[in-house]
Structure 1
Amino acid sequence: MPVHRRPRPTIALPPASIDAGAEAADSAARLQAPGPWLMMLEGRAPWEWAALLAALPWLRRLPPGDGHPVLVFPGLGASDITTLPLRHFLRGCGYTPYPWRQGFNFGPRHGVLDATRAMVAQAAERHREKVSLIGWSLGGVYAREIAKEQPGHVRCVITLGTPFAGHPRATNAWRFYELVSGQHTDDDELLALLREPPPVPTTSIYSKTDGIVAWQCSLNDPAHPLAENVEVHASHIGMGMNPLALYAIADRLAQDPAHWRRFDAQGARRWFFRTTHEGPLAAASGR
């Protein structure tokens, strides 16, 4: 969902680029929000919390983190309370997690983006190293855009069920977003900019059984050398405490940015994870 407006491009694009952009916009427009059955499945979130508790002994066997700072963004209409399990997990892994501290996420209200930019810069200065950004749903849009603005301060970006690749109306939250943010979701030019991946390692964790966001909206272009997609079995509102999602997060945070490699879903992992090798355009056309 849109975070802010950038200056409109003034450079004329060649016909091939115009056609590709029009095709991407058309495919995004064809996407539909998840139906009633998937929305009903969002009720499994408490079971994901229970699964996390049961999986803690397994998760504690993960390699310890290096202590670098991690800023966690909540989803639309949520606050830092919802990211407590995730931040507690990160601290237990050996990282230094930070909450968003901007209250409820009701969109890019006045001062929110400036405060968030300052938090990233301050954390990087305090720790004298780059900051990893984790964003849940709309929070992932913030994480991606800040990484584009401050690549010198950002180590990597991880998003959870974030709708950056499709139209916001391919979600079941767009009306609520417009209501609480006061913004419209029909700026195709801005949406095209949001699809661009950051210039740092970027992982999108998504679920094909997401009841809020059409899963195709969460796909990075796999042709980008620093972007990837990892599929897990999770609900949207439970993704931040889903043990499979947390495992993938820990695996990604442990990567050395200078020698970054995509998530390995081979071996025993193939029973729990999938890596998507098609972009959002192909996935939308093959729905």
Structure 2
Amino acid sequence: MPAPVSADTDSDSTLRPPGLLKLALEGRAPWEFAALLAAAPWLRQLPSGDGHPVIVFPGLGVSDFSTVPMRSFLSDRGYEPHPWRQGFNFGPRHGVLEACVEQLRALHYRHGQGVSLIGWSLGGIYARELAKEHPDLVRCVITLGSPFAGHPRATNAWRFFEFVSGQSAHDPEVIAGIRQPPAVPTTSIYSRSDGVVAWQCSQNPDLPHTENIEVRASHVGMGLNPLTMYLIADRLRQPAGRWQRFEADGAKRWFFKPTPARAEPAAA
């Protein structure tokens, strides 16, 4: 069972959104996409997957169009990727989570096996919450720059979230619930140079089935970055029920940095 998490958010009061310099570095996203295209021959040499289904959730304010490169990569590697098919992601409005559950159940029934969930930014929150509610349907969860820890206002997107979703970004009970990791293998891919989300907000607690892996990427370009694609392929190809944490051995140490999971305070 996941470790208990405190609903107290006072410890996050000193955490601030990324500064202007990091925000300006978000302009490198087109170069990350160019790097993905250049790395395509190398990525095609990665081991093929086992064909299991994967749902990819887009970030705040964008649609399935943003995940086309990732889904194309997953399809090329032998998986069956699916978009979320709900238009632009403007937060968990009425009916959104219900539709996600229906899609998850349908894919699990059709394939007769667990579905992997990948979420970019806010999409990672959906992936985690679905896995918490239906762990028997989910194989693993991978999030990219998702702000599930810390305080939502330690991001540069919280005002936009409140505007488009009509919901508050400051609800201690909701924040505490979001922090809790799923009971399935869960990987958080994050970047210390993220210009939208403070990297501390993407840190899983220290549990046998959780991990945090640092990459050099922007927030906007994380789902287009070839290093991220490599990690996703590496995590998805693990046999069901035999998940292990990522090891940056050999040359991988130059590109990836698995980091110790953060410790969670016990509930009072």
- Indicate whether the TM-score tops 0.5: yes
For 1:183, which of 167, 190, 196 is the aligned residue?
Answer: 167
User: What corresponds to 2:36 in structure 1?
Assistant: 52
Q: Could you tell me how far 1:111 is from its partner in structure 2?
A: 0.9
Q: How far does the alpha carbon of each residue in 1:166-225 deviate from its partner, in whole angstroms, 9 at most, with x for none?
A: 111000000000000000011112111111110000000000000000000000012x11
Deviation at 1:257, TM superposition (A): 3.0
Query: How do residues 159-198 of structure 1 correspond to structure 2 at under 5 angstroms?
Result: 159-198=143-182
Instruction: Give me the whole-angstrom Cα distance separating, in 1, the residues matched to 2:222 and 2:232.
Output: 11
Q: Does 1:275 align with 2:253?
A: no
Alignment partners' CA distance in 1, 2:13 and 2:141: 26
In 1: Cα distance, 2:111 partner to 2:167 partner:
35
Q: How many correspondences in the alignment? A: 262
Whole-Å Cα distance in 2 between the matches of residues 175 and 200 of structure 1?
31
Deviations 1:13-67 (A, max 9, x none): xxxx8xx837x62222221000000000000000000000111111111100000
Q: Which among 55, 74, 90 is matched to residue 71 of structure 1?
A: 55
User: What corresponds to 1:264 in structure 2?
Assistant: 247
1:227 is displaced (CA, Å) by 0.4
Conserved in 2, the CA contact under 8 Å of 1:147 and 1:198? yes
Q: Larger relative CO (CA 8 A, sep 6+): 1 or 2?
A: 2
Equivalent residue runs for 1:33-52 within 5 Å? 33-52=17-36
AA partner of residue 48 (structure 1): E
What corresponds to 1:8 in structure 2?
A: none
Corresponding residue for residue 114 of structure 1: 98
1:253 corresponds, among 220, 233, 236, to: 236
| Alignment correspondent of 1:134 | 118
Q: Distance in 1 between matches of 2:166 and 2:197?
A: 20
Q: Find 2:6's aligned residue among 18, 21, 33.
A: 21
Q: CA RMSD in A?
A: 1.4
The residue that corresponds to 1:228 in the other structure is 211
Please say if residues 32 and 226 of structure 2, whose CA atoms lie closer than 8 Å, have aligned partners that are also in contact.
yes
Structure 2, unmatched stretches of 5+, are none
Alignment deviations for residues 66-108 of structure 1 (CA, whole Å, 9 cap, x no partner): 0000000000001000000000000000000000100000001
Shift of 1:281: 6.3
The CA deviation at 1:259 is: 1.4
- SS at structure 2 position matched to 1:156: strand
Give the aligned partner of residue 125 of structure 1.
Answer: 109
Identity of aligned residues (%): 63
Q: Is the 8 A contact 1:144 1:157 kept in 2?
A: yes
Secondary structure, counterpart of 1:229 in structure 2 = strand
- State the distance in 1 between where 2:41 and 2:21 align: 33
Q: By how many angstroms is 1:124 displaced?
A: 0.6
Match of 2:227 in 1: 244
Q: Determine which of 115, 135, 140 is the counterpart of 1:156.
A: 140
Cα distance in 2, alignment partners of residues 27 and 270 from structure 1: 32
Tell me, in whole angstroms, the C-alpha distance in 2 between the residues paired with 1:257 and 1:276.
24
- Report the CA distance shift for 1:111/1:278 in structure 2 as closer, same or farther (over 3 A): closer
Is the 2:211–2:261 Cα contact (8 Å) retained in structure 1? no
Structure 2 length as normaliser, TM-score?
0.95
Q: Are 2:62 and 1:88 aligned?
A: no
What TM-score results when the alignment is normalised by the length of structure 1? 0.89
Q: Please tell me the residue identity of whatever aligns with 1:250.
A: A
